[in-house]
Structure 1
Amino acid sequence: MWHFISEQISQSIGDDFICDDIREVKGGDTHQNYKISDGHKRFFIKLNGDDGLPYFDAETVGLNHLRDTQLFRVPNVICSGIIENTSYLVLEHIVLQHGDEQSWYQLGVQLAHMHQQHTQEMFGWQEDNFIGRTPQPNHWHKRWDVFFAEERIGFLLQLLAEKGECSVSIERAVDSVKQLLYGHHPIASMLHGDLWSGNVGFHQRTPVLFDPAFYFGDRETDIAMTELFSRFPPSFYDGYEATWPLNEGYAYRKQVYQLYHILNHALMFGSHYRDTATSMLMALDQ
């Protein structure tokens, strides 16, 4: 397998590459990750089963759109495919470091600039993709409240119901989300879609983004995700606010935006997140 992948890399970069150093990279819940090298050139490899290529195709599209903004360092996609019942994605290897205060401030500034790139009148995306292992439907909608209630919350609740792990009325939950977001009319911003600390890094103080769940939606959803599991440093929010301040209603909407990611974790990891999601859903009716 590694010999075949080396050949594909060689064809893609137009130079000989034969990996002689293969090291597994721990972390991540969706794929097996490796760093490979020939002593001079290094690449980051993701592996999955033979049904995993759609994940990598969607990731490639998202990375390319983030790169096209020319706002962030984004790993280049080298090649992808299937060999021996294993799908693979080869990415540029970028050495990541922790960001200092100025680096995080710059990430906030640049994210706000990306959110300001208003190129769509509707919410969604031209194709469905994934958030982690979970399918993410992106059917176009004119109204944000309908899109988020149906394509995000309702869809994940239906997936949980199919596993016998949904204890709430899906229809009632969807209606509650629509009511909460009714009257909120954001522009359709280009979103990372899964913006937490594990999908952000810095290379020579330059912000690096990866593993997107790309679509066009309310910019507040990206910010809400940054506050969910491990809040970004204060300088990030200072940079964002200095560039494009959030509406005061964000604090009111933040919890329902975070609910999407809690539901996704309930699908992937089970009871603790399911209980948290149930409590958040019950709070919508109060």
Structure 2
Amino acid sequence: MKLDSAIVSLLGLDPDKTSVSSSGGVGMSSASTSKITTELPDGSEKQYFMKTGKGREAEIMFAGEHASLNAIHNAVPTLCPKSFGHGKLADAPGKSFLVSDFLELSGRFSSSKKSPNAMSLAQKLAKLHTTPAPIPEGYESPQFGFPASTCCGDTPQDNTYTSSWADFYANRRLRFIVNQSKKANGADKQLESLVEETCNKVIPRLIGDAHLNNGRGITPIVVHGDLWSGNSSVGKLPGMNEPEDVVFDSSACYAHSEFELGIMKMFGGFGASFLKEYHELVPKTEPLEEYEDRIRLYELYHHLNHHALFGGGYKSGAVSIMRDLVGRTSLRGLGRGIEESATNPTATGYRGPGPIGRLAPPNPEVEALDTLPLPPLDMVDGDDLPELVHELDGPVSGVGLPRIVPCAGKISGQLLILHAASPTYTRFAPSTQRSPY
């Protein structure tokens, strides 16, 4: 495969000493990926990672990912690849490209191969989330937003700057994505009404600028923006002698640090030990008792985004979250958390995300933890499903894609149930093992 002359010029490569080969997949996006291998003047070899795509959508996506990767890389250089540039291909009209460091992946659960001296993912993310956002040109203080439009999956996001986090989340995320869903799936009065109620009632109550941190507000920091388990792994960046925890396919913006945790909770795979380590370095925002509700509010955006992209059962998860938060806001019941609602079936507290809810009555030995969505089925290979759902201690049987049938497997003492009726799974565990996360 011949390397486009625009990339030869950007990287200053010798075409006669450079080759291009295919390289893996890239999650949700419609881009193609390649590995560039070149011989440098000193005789050493260097590799780059390249994405290419067609049309205006790819151009926007790559510009946003270029800015995202470098915003993260500048704060924590060992966390993600550096981007070298993006633009239009010279030899293929209508196509765009992005070129970054080549990341040699080892696999997300290859902990035995990781460097014992490197920072963990929790430590790296904590460093990222405690680095204040830069002050944009023309402003007097850091702003919420981002200097480029970014894509979460294939959804282009409006990152226009604002000084108010509550305003940014209501208008640039929730109202924006329900409009995207309307374009993709048609009008939905129920969904649109619930989003408006959430923006008007829940957001001022939970994340209002004068409410967080006892009126001190929050400082914008850069978030990855799409940090589900499929966008983190163990691998080597240039200069690393051993693999470390890394992330990729970012959709960054300057936001509340807890916004990052919404999608991490939605798809699971990070666990209580990760959050314990992380929160020892990045304390939960005050009020502490509303932490779980804030995370669910931030998870809501990703349910709505997946509904805009894929339709289907993701609407049910969004509706469940909004009904619960709106209802408890009206009853001043926010902040009650998981424990109270689990032990009191009449409480208006947390009942777990997703369209299924509780599948069985309370049992002294087995208790439903939560119901969570699986990644879109076209992203998941059947052999990879156990890894994507959770770190698995035992076998999972009966998994076939694009069809999922009920199956079960042990997960750290828990029971995993995959549902055929909707793209969700429910975790069950003895009540003594229930986690606050």
TM-score normalised according to structure 2 size: 0.59
Task: Name which of 238, 260, 264 aligns with 1:222.
Answer: 260
Matched, 1:112 2:144: no
Matched, 1:180 2:203: no
SS of corresponding position for 1:3: coil
SS of corresponding position for 1:186: coil
Could you give the per-residue CA deviations for residues 140-186 of structure 1, whole angstroms, max 9, x where no partner exists? 23332222112111111122223415333143232133233231232
Gaps of 5+ in 1: none
SS of corresponding position for 1:135: strand
Q: Could you tell me which residue of structure 2 aligns to residue 68 of structure 1?
A: 74
Residues 8 and 165 of structure 1: CA distance in aligned 2, closer, same or farther (over 3 Å)? same
Matched residue type, 1:90 = V
Comparing 14-23 with 208-217, greater Cα deviation is found at 14-23
- Quote the Cα distance in structure 2 between the aligned partners of 1:31 and 1:180: 36
Comparing 115-124 with 219-228, greater Cα deviation is found at 115-124
1:70-89 alignment to 2 at 5 Å?
70-80=76-86, 81-82=88-89, 83-89=92-98
8 Å Cα contact 2:80-2:248 kept in structure 1: yes
SS of corresponding position for 1:228: helix
Residues 211 and 21 of structure 1: CA distance in aligned 2, closer, same or farther (over 3 Å)? closer
SS of corresponding position for 2:178: helix
- Return the offset for 1:220: 0.5
Matched residue type, 2:174 = I
Q: Could you tell me which residue of structure 1 aligns to residue 375 of structure 2?
A: none
Task: Name which of 151, 155, 175 aligns with 1:130.
Answer: 151
- Quote the Cα distance in structure 2 between the aligned partners of 1:27 and 1:211: 8
Comparing 264-273 with 103-112, greater Cα deviation is found at 103-112
CA RMSD of aligned residues (A): 2.6
Q: Could you tell me which residue of structure 2 aligns to residue 231 of structure 1?
A: 269
Matched, 1:36 2:42: no
- Quote the Cα distance in structure 2 between the aligned partners of 1:116 and 1:226: 18
Comparing 106-115 with 94-103, greater Cα deviation is found at 94-103
Residues 134 and 37 of structure 1: CA distance in aligned 2, closer, same or farther (over 3 Å)? closer
Residues 216 and 175 of structure 1: CA distance in aligned 2, closer, same or farther (over 3 Å)? same
Could you give the per-residue CA deviations for residues 190-242 of structure 1, whole angstroms, max 9, x where no partner exists? 21111122222222232322222111111001122222113214443233122
1:88-167 alignment to 2 at 5 Å?
88-97=97-106, 98=108, 99-100=110-111, 106-119=120-133, 121-163=142-184, 164-166=186-188, 167=190
- Quote the Cα distance in structure 2 between the aligned partners of 1:46 and 1:60: 11
Comparing 221-230 with 169-178, greater Cα deviation is found at 169-178
Q: Could you tell me which residue of structure 2 aligns to residue 190 of structure 1?
A: 222
May I ask how many residue pairs the two structures share in their alignment? Answer: 284
TM-score normalised according to structure 1 size: 0.87
Larger RCO, structures 1/2 (Cα 8 Å, 6+ apart):
1
- Quote the Cα distance in structure 2 between the aligned partners of 1:128 and 1:36: 26
Q: Could you tell me which residue of structure 2 aligns to residue 10 of structure 1?
A: 8
- Quote the Cα distance in structure 1 between the aligned partners of 2:145 and 2:33: 32
Q: Could you tell me which residue of structure 2 aligns to residue 272 of structure 1?
A: 313
SS of corresponding position for 1:87: strand
- Return the offset for 1:87: 1.8
Q: Could you tell me which residue of structure 2 aligns to residue 54 of structure 1?
A: 60
SS of corresponding position for 1:91: strand
1:194-205 alignment to 2 at 5 Å?
194-202=226-234, 203=236, 204-205=242-243
Gaps of 5+ in 2: 39-44, 134-140, 237-241, 328-437
SS of corresponding position for 1:46: strand
Residues 177 and 137 of structure 1: CA distance in aligned 2, closer, same or farther (over 3 Å)? farther
8 Å Cα contact 1:103-1:205 kept in structure 2: no
- Quote the Cα distance in structure 1 between the aligned partners of 2:14 and 2:142: 45
Comparing 47-56 with 239-248, greater Cα deviation is found at 239-248
- Return the offset for 1:244: 1.9
Matched residue type, 1:44 = F
Matched residue type, 1:68 = N
- Quote the Cα distance in structure 2 between the aligned partners of 1:60 and 1:132: 15
Residues 104 and 201 of structure 1: CA distance in aligned 2, closer, same or farther (over 3 Å)? farther
Residues 155 and 104 of structure 1: CA distance in aligned 2, closer, same or farther (over 3 Å)? farther
The list of structure 1 runs, each at least 4 consecutive aligned residues, that deviate by more than 6 angstroms after superposition, is 101-105
Q: Percent identity?
A: 25
8 Å Cα contact 2:36-2:50 kept in structure 1: no
- Return the offset for 1:28: 1.5
- CA radius of gyration, larger in: 2
